Every structure is written in C-alpha cells, then in structure tokens.
Amino acid sequence: MKMKKVFHMVIFLFLVSCGTEIKGEKVGNFTISEDGSIYFKDKKLLRIKKIFFSDYDLKIEENFIVGGFFKKSYTPKKKNEVNIKEKMSFSADGQKLFINTKTDGENSVELEIECDGKELFFGMGMWFDSSISNQKKRFIWVEEGHVGGDDDNPPFPDGEIKTYFPLPFFISNKNYGFLLKSFSPSVFDFCSEEKETLKIILFDSEFSAELYYAPHPLEIVSIYTERTGRPKPVPDWVFSAWIDAIGGSENVRKTAKLIREKGIRADVIWTEDWRGGKKIESLGIYTIGGGTKPSRELYPDFETLAAELKSMGFKFLGYFNSFVLEGDEGWDELIKNNALVKYENGEIVKVSVPESQTAGGVKAGILDLTNEFALNWMKLVMRSAEKYFDGWMADFGEWVPANSKLSDNSTGLKSHNKYPILWQKLQRDFWEEVRPNGDFVFFTRSGYIGTQSLSPVVWPGDQNTSWEKYDGLRSAVVAGISLSFTGVSLYGSDIAGYTSLISPSDKELYIRWTQFGAFSPVMRTHHGTNPDKNWRFDKDDETLALFKFYSEIHEKLKDYLKEYHQKAVEKGFPIIRHILLQNPEYEKFLQSDPECFETEYMLGDYILVAPVVEKGKRERNVFFPSGEWVDIFDSRVYRGPGFFKVQAPLWKIPAFFKKGSIAEKIFSGIYEKCGDYCKAER
C-alpha cells in the first residue's frame, strides 16, 4: 500500500515538472500561442488581443504663451486589423523577446493587450500622481510639468498630468517588462477606456518593442538598464548637501561663510544666476539672466569668488540651458550656420523663456543639437565656464515643437522626445573630455530612454512651494519613487519647491522637504521664484538647527549611498525603491492603504523612509516589510509585515533601519545630536 502511494506521488511530480506543453511558435525561451499569448517557458506573461495598422490625425501644438506646454489630440481616420502572425516578427535572446512590425503605409501601429483586473503596471518614467498607471492614460511626450493640482483643483493648463520625463516602459506584476523602442510620440492607455484592454498607440509606421522576463522586478530593471545603459560613477562630494546661493558675490560669500561657521555638512554651492538675475516687480518673481559669461553687475569678481569657494572646500556649480537669446553673443553665427531649430517653413523657432523676462522681453532660439556647429559652439561656451565650475544644472530640453525640422532632416514630431537625450549626451561628452577623472556632475529634469546612463542626477523640475497633491512636496516624493522603475540612481528635488506664484514656502513645508531631501540620494536647496518671501535654511534658529541636523544625517548616509550607487553602476538597481519593487510579495497589502505605498520607499535594502507630505500632520501610517525595523530617533522596534501609526512631530521624519543590518551603525547616537529642538512634540 505504501509503495503504491509512493509510485503515484512520483508520477504526479513527474507530470508537474514536465508541465503542459504550450502550443505555438517557439522563439528561444518564449512561445507565441495561437491566441496571441506570450509565454516564457511555461509562464504566461501577456496576450496580444489585436493589432491594427491605423491612420491617425495627430495634433501636437505648442503653447508658448505659458511656456513649454503642448495641446495634444489624436483621432483615428482608419483602423485596419491585421494578423499577428503575418505582420509581427519575433526573435529572442535569453530572457528578452524582440517584437517588430511595419505598417503597409499607415502612420500608426496600435496594440491591444489583455487586462485581467489583477495586473499592476508600474513605471512609465517620472510621474507626479502615482507610480502605478492602472486606469490611467499616459501620453509619451516630453514637456513642462503641469502647475498645481489636487483632488479638487485640476492641474494647469488643461487638467492633465504632464511630465518632463515620460518613458514608454512599464513593469508588470506578472514578471515582465515592456519597452517600446521609439522616440515618436505614443499613448499607453492602461485599461481606462476599456477595463479589459491595455491599448498602446505608436504614432509611427515602424514598431519595435522588447519584452523582458524575470522572476523579480529589480531583475527586470537590471535587464532594462543592460539594454539602455546604466548609471556612471560620480565623485564622493555629490553625496554631500548642495546649498543654493544667489544674488551676487557678497551674498554667495555670506552663505558659504555661514555654512562653515555653523558646521552645516555641505560641500557644494550652486549659483543659478551667475549669468545675471532680476526681480520682476509686476510678477513678484526673480528671473535669471542669459548669455555666455558671468554677470559683472551681480558678480564683478566672479573669478575671485570661484577661487575663494574652492579654497573653503566647496565644489561650485552653475547653470546652463539650450536657449540662446536673440541678439546675444553667438546669435548671428548660429543663424548663419543653421544651428537653431526652425519650423518646417524655415522660420526660426523663437520662444519666451525665463531669461526673456530679465532681458526685457527678448525671445530666444533653441539650439539645434543635430547640428555640428551648434554642438561645438555650446562646447566652447561651456569650456570657458568649466574653469570655475565643477558642474551645473543642465536645464530644459522639452520645447522643440512638433512642426519643426532639424538639421539632420528629422521632424520635430520624431525628434522632440530625443532632444533631452541629445542635450544630456552633449553634457556627458563635454565633461568626460575636459574632466576624464570624473570629477564633475550635472543634473537634468527632462528625460527619455537612456537618461539614467547619461545624466548623473535627475531632479523633478518645478514643483510649487506648496502641499498640493500633484505639484507640491508629495509630488516630489512620488516622482522619485516612480523613477525607481527606470533605473535612475541619483535623484533629488528642490528644497522646498520652486514655483512661488501664489504661496511662498513656509517653515513647516521647508522642514518637511529638508527631511525628504536628507533621505534622498541628492540633498539640494533652491531659492524658488520668490526668494524674498520663500523660507530659507537660515530663516530662524530652529530651522537652521534642524537643517544642520539633517545635513549631518545625509553626511552619515554618504558611504551607504555610495555603496548602493555602485550597485546601480554594476546592476542597474536604483537607490530609491518602491516597496513593491523591493518586495513584490507585499502586493496583498496595497489596497489596505494605497497612499502609504505611494509615499514611502526603501533607500537601498535596509532603510525605510516615510516622509510626511501633508500640512499639519504629526503622524502617518507606515507599512513595514518583514523583520524588525528600528526607529532611527527613539529606537522603537516595529515588526513587519504590517501597518503601524508612527508619531512624527515637526522635527522628525519617520525613518527606520533593519535591525542587524549594515545600516544600524549609521544612526548610532543620532538623536543626541539634534538638541533641544528634537524634544518639541508639536
């Protein structure tokens, strides 16, 4: 009797191990079945329901009145369903499946993929509403981020969530990643119009995609970065705090001396207005200047200032963008060499940019980065500045109109999303040429496929100096977490936001944003558009003490952050990680508190961070993965997996290390360094 049971068990295990043979076209480790399902070995990943070759009336019109925003619409004129097997070609390499097709003359390819209601879709670049795209429509078009927005107040200008860094790449909880390899605009509708259908529309006649299988989402990110590029090493000083200082030589000196006198742990000063700046009284904002040289009005002794900062142990960062003011130095040469972006009719694209306000309304052209003269001209401009700087903000990259034509004969429609990559490649090539030892950094906001390997640091653009859900502190947290699915390693936002048209930053916002900055890979302040009214790190004694305290925490994190950035260099793993990117097994907890999962994250493997992102809140819900997690301030231990309410008086960010991990020694004695301000329970 016992032998019979053993025999039956052996037969059962044999059948299970063999599995059921999947019928269909075998392509390496993948199988494409008769119904369009794609399997990796015996695991079903997705099912392509239909494919269409379509003609769309696509309209993408710039609205430069408000700067860098685009009105987008698309209407189908013709849709022809075609046979998947006849029109799609497949090839494979290990865990990667390559999918290609080309229309019969139509201008678009449209895919319909099955949604089962249980699948989750993560990533798609840097988004400010959510890291999860379910029930959302993502238009893949690089543009200025929207302004404002919460549940009762739609974002400006058209109620749409916009982003500087969209990406046609998502990761599914079904163990696959999907990359659409195209610079052309596209739309991903994650089951919002039809709950059973994920629709992908590529506005191009040639379709190329890659499907990646891996049992863990971090491994999918690793494959993606293997294919599109991994982050590069950066100098150690990048992991120190960066302090913004503007308003002229004496103000920069004053800030630098204060940092050293008060013992603030910061080794980087960055000066955005080195080419000039002006307060526009009618708007109540401060705008920066343009040109190619230091402003002698603000910085008459610029060269001496730069030398002094370096003698004090500071690295010095500046600012550049790819605009050139009309009539400025180099304008005539650039015109002569066709080195500015033009409309299809040959007219030069001229736009109103921040420098325009400073220059009395003069418009600017956009460097044509497919033009060799433009590249060499910009390198010469940067070379004259590199003698004094160790890097800079490489701003913008989103403004190329769809109806433009570039020097390489590409249209704006097809080159618009590529422009950030061209801008970042120019920066990378320049700095590697002049500083082959790698002692430099630049940071960007616009991005696309490959940004993680070109731009050392990404920041999320221009948040409002507010608590708004989709354009304030919360949005900066969500943006950093959503970027984790793209392989971006070094991320940091403006402390405490940038746009101050209505409400300048106040003390509470500044402190909460400082806390988030300290537990970001890059901690960096910004003066914002209204520096006279915005809060500052030295506005009062308490803010100064807490800023110093959190700069010390960030400094203590330096070796840890360096170690995890090296993992990004080697494997593509990001430093900031969505809870489900690190621990996909906790998906079952998601619906209990979705917002909790949107605004807490892992910093590497062993530090859990849950920033407070709502005004007046003095506690928040925190989800703890399995194991014992120790509060870095009061040493209270929380055992996961599960949710706990954690107290968060103004001085404190909920942050925890895993007991017994390498992170434990980082925070030894940290509470004692905070002083009297950390005893306040308000």
pLDDT in tens, 137-188: 999 999 999 888 888 888 888 889 999 999 999 999 999 999 999 999 999 9
What confidence score (pLDDT) does residue 4 get? 45
Q: Which two tokens stand for residue 266?
A: 């910061």
523 pLDDT above the threshold of 80: yes
pLDDT score for 679 = 67
Copy the structure tokens of residue 70. 């685009």
Name the helix (H) or strand (E) containing 219: helix 217-228
On whether the CB atoms of residues 200 and 113 are closer than 8 A, the answer is: yes
Over residues 528-540, the pLDDT tens digits come to 999 999 999 999 9
Q: What's the DSSP call for residue 650? A: T
pTM for the model stands at 0.95
Neighbours of 20 (CB within 10 A): 8
- In whole numbers, what is the pLDDT of the chain averaged over residues? 94
Span 7-24, mean pLDDT? 51
Contact partners, residue 653, CB within 8 Å, separation at least 6: 512, 515, 516, 518, 519, 609, 610, 611, 612
How far apart (Å, rounded) are the C-alpha atoms in residues 130 and 120? 12
11-25, 173-187, 606-620, 642-656 — which is least confidently predicted? 11-25
- pLDDT tens-digit profile of 351-388? 988 888 888 889 999 999 999 999 999 999 999 999 99
Q: Which two tokens stand for residue 411?
A: 């249209």
Q: Does 11 have pLDDT greater than 80?
A: no
What are the pLDDT digits (tens) for 627-653?
Answer: 999 999 999 999 999 999 999 999 999
SS3 22: coil
**Least confident interval from 371-375, 467-471, 505-509, 669-673:** 669-673
Q: What is the pLDDT of residues 418-457, one digit of tens each?
A: 999 999 999 999 999 999 999 999 999 999 999 999 999 9
Is residue 5 predicted with pLDDT exceeding 50? no
| Rounded Cα distance, 188 and 139, in Å | 7
Collapsed DSSP state (helix, strand, coil) of residue 360: coil
Domains of the chain: 42-213 (2.60.40), 236-571 (3.20.20.80), 576-679 (2.60.40.1180)
Residue 65: per-residue pLDDT = 63
Q: How far is Cα 238 from Cα 254, in angstroms, rounded to an integer?
A: 22
Q: What is the C-alpha to C-alpha distance for residues 656 and 608, in angstroms, rounded to an integer?
A: 5
Residue bearing tokens 């019979």: 4
Tens digits of per-residue pLDDT, 258-314?
A: 999 999 999 999 999 999 999 988 778 999 999 999 999 999 999 999 999 999 999
Residue by residue, DSSP assigns 8-21 as HHHHHHHHHHH-PP
Radius of gyration of the chain (CA): 26
CA distance 71 to 50: 29
pLDDT category at 64 given cuts 50, 70, 90 is low
pLDDT band at 66 (very low <50, low <70, confident <90, very high): low
Task: Tell me which residue of 289, 281, 283 sits closest to 247, measured CA to CA.
Answer: 289
If you count them, how many residues does the chain have?
682
Q: How confident is the model at residue 1 (pLDDT cuts 50, 70, 90)?
A: very low
Q: In this structure, what are the phi and psi dihedrals at residue 506, rounded to the nearest 5 degrees?
A: -115, 180
Indicate whether 19 pLDDT > 90.
Answer: no
Determine the pLDDT at residue 18: 47
Q: Is the pLDDT of residue 219 over 90?
A: yes
Q: pLDDT: is 283 or 335 the higher one? A: 335
Given a cut of 90, is residue 675 above it in pLDDT? no
The arithmetic mean of pLDDT across residues 25-39, rounded, is: 97
